[in-house]
């Protein structure tokens, strides 16, 4: 099954567009894409002569059409496990006598870790 348009139909569309728009207006994307699609059936010379465009324009449209057909990266939000969603992520700030400052998320703290931090903060040897 051939899905590319015929040179005759695209030529008619270009003519109709030119008749209804000012001389120096941009060629619509749809017409650009149709002109590029003709390259699968016709030579570049046949296309540019029939449509009244130049080779540079057809080449530029080919690059634009090709880049718009490539798959784009879609960013998705990170999924957080349900058991983590309910937790709050508070930042705990610990300052030691020797000038060391430690910042931790509250989810990482447990009783053993807190007792070690308390001993360090009070200057005790562990």
Q: How far apart are CA 109 and CA 102, in angstroms?
A: 12
* Closest by CA position to 84, among listed 107, 62, 65: 107
Average pLDDT of span 46-71 = 84
pLDDT tops 50 at residue 25: yes
Q: What is the mean pLDDT of residues 68-89?
A: 58
pTM, entire model: 0.51
Instruction: Please say if the pLDDT value at position 108 is more than 70.
Output: no
- Residue 76 has a pLDDT of 62
Confidence of residue 70 (pLDDT cuts 50, 70, 90): low
- State the number of CA atoms in the 13 A half-sphere of 29 facing the CB: 6
Residue 17 has pLDDT above 80, yes or no: yes
């Amino acid at each position: 099954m051939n899905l590319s348009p015929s040179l005759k139909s695209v030529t008619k569309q270009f003519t109709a567009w030119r008749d209804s728009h000012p001389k120096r207006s941009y060629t619509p994307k749809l017409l650009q894409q149709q002109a590029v699609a003709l390259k699968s059936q016709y030579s570049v010379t046949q296309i540019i002569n029939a449509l009244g465009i130049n080779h540079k324009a057809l080449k530029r449209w080919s690059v634009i059409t090709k880049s718009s057909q490539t798959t784009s990266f879609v960013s998705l939000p990170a999924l957080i496990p349900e058991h983590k969603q309910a937790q709050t992520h508070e930042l705990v700030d610990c300052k030691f006598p020797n000038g060391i400052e430690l910042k931790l998320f509250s989810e990482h703290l447990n009783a053993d870790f807190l007792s070690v931090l308390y001993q360090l903060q009070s200057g005790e040897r562990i």
